[in-house]
Amino acid sequence: MAGGSQREADGSAALGGFLAALGGAAIFFSRGIEELGFAREGDPGSKAFPVALGALLAVAGAWELARRFRGRRDGASPLFDSAAWRRPGTRNVIGLGASLAVYVWLLGPLGFASSTLLFCAPWMRRFGAGWGRPAALTIALVVGVEVLFAGVFQVRLPEGSSILAIDRFMVNL
């Protein structure tokens, strides 16, 4: 815990890198912003604000990185904590983030119901116990959302291109 606090006081390499990269990217890509020729006297133009903010973020990032390196020089803590990647919590976050991305991607081909079942049941299993209750809760969740959004609020939930293709195939048969 003390190490964590020390690291926070020293700044964060990840945050510093992120801010510096974002700021740098904002300045770089601002070059491509076209001024449409409506510029009137006194108008700083469409590039000014993004460039100023990009510079601000880049400076903040550089400052955060400098604090981090200074902390490292003082021997407070390693620059990158490789043990963090092996912690179950970190693995959970990466796994959940990746499966969420797959879930969203699957919404197109598989539709809402199938992709939600594929996403939810394993995660409920991971954070719960056994398969029975997670499976029942997932089905209840899918049915609940279908009733609420599709039934009551008339939202057209993604039906899934593959599911529709199978439907068409079955009808043609």
Partner 1 sequence: MEGFTDLLQPVVLVPWILGMVFGVFVGATPGLTATMAVALIVPMSYRLDDPVAGLAMIIGVSFTAIFAGDIPATHLRIPGTPASAAATLDGHELAKLGRADHALRLDLICSAFGGLVGVLCLMLVAPQLAKFALKFSSQEYFWLGVCGLSISAAVSQTGALRGAIAVALGMMLSTIGVDDQGAVRFTFGSLDLYDGVQLIPAMIGLFGLSEVLRFAARSDDPVDAVGASASARGGEAPQSAWRSVWAHKWTAFKSAILGTIIGALPGAGADIAAWGAYGMAQRTSKNGKRFGRGAEEGVIAPTSANNAAVGGAWIPALVFGVPGDAVTAIVLGAFVVYEIVPGPQIFERSGDQVTAIFQIALVTQFLLLAAGYLGIKAFGWILRLPRGAVMAAVAVFSVVGSYAMRDNVFDVWIMLAFGILGFFLEAKRIPLAPLILGLILGPMIEENLRAGLIKEGGSIVPFFTRPICLALILTLAGAVGLKPLWARFARSG
Q: Which is nearer to partner 1, 155 or 166 (CB)?
A: 155
CB of 156 to partner 1, least distance (A): 6
How far is the C-alpha of 76 from the C-alpha of 66, rounded, in Å?
Answer: 14
5 binds partner 1 (CB under 8 A): no
CB of 126 to partner 1, least distance (A): 6
CB of 169 to partner 1, least distance (A): 24
**Binding marks (x or -) toward partner 1, 74..113, rule CB under 8 A?**
-------------xxxx-xx-xxx--xx-xx--xx---x-
Residue from the set 10, 65, 116, 160 that interacts with partner 1 by CB under 8 A: 116
> What residue type is assigned to position 47 of the chain?
K
Residues 18, 50, 32, CA angle at the centre, nearest 5°?
100
| Contact between 152 and 106 (Cβ < 8 Å) | no
> What residue type is assigned to position 67 of the chain?
R
> What residue type is assigned to position 38 of the chain?
F
**Binding marks (x or -) toward partner 1, 138..157, rule CB under 8 A?**
x--x---x--xx--xxxxxx
9 binds partner 1 (CB under 8 A): no
In the chain, where does DSSP find H-type helix? 2-10, 13-30, 48-73, 88-126, 132-145, 161-172
Token pair listed for 80: 């990158």
Q: 70: how many CB neighbours lie within 10 A of its CB?
A: 12
130 binds partner 1 (CB under 8 A): no
Backbone angles phi, psi at 15, to 5 degrees: -65, -45
Question: Rule CB under 8 A: which residues touch partner 1?
Answer: 8, 12, 14-15, 18-19, 22, 26, 29-30, 33-36, 38, 40-44, 46, 49-50, 53-54, 56-57, 60, 87-90, 92-93, 95-97, 100-101, 103-104, 107-108, 112, 116, 119-120, 123-124, 126-129, 133-134, 137-138, 141, 145, 148-149, 152-158
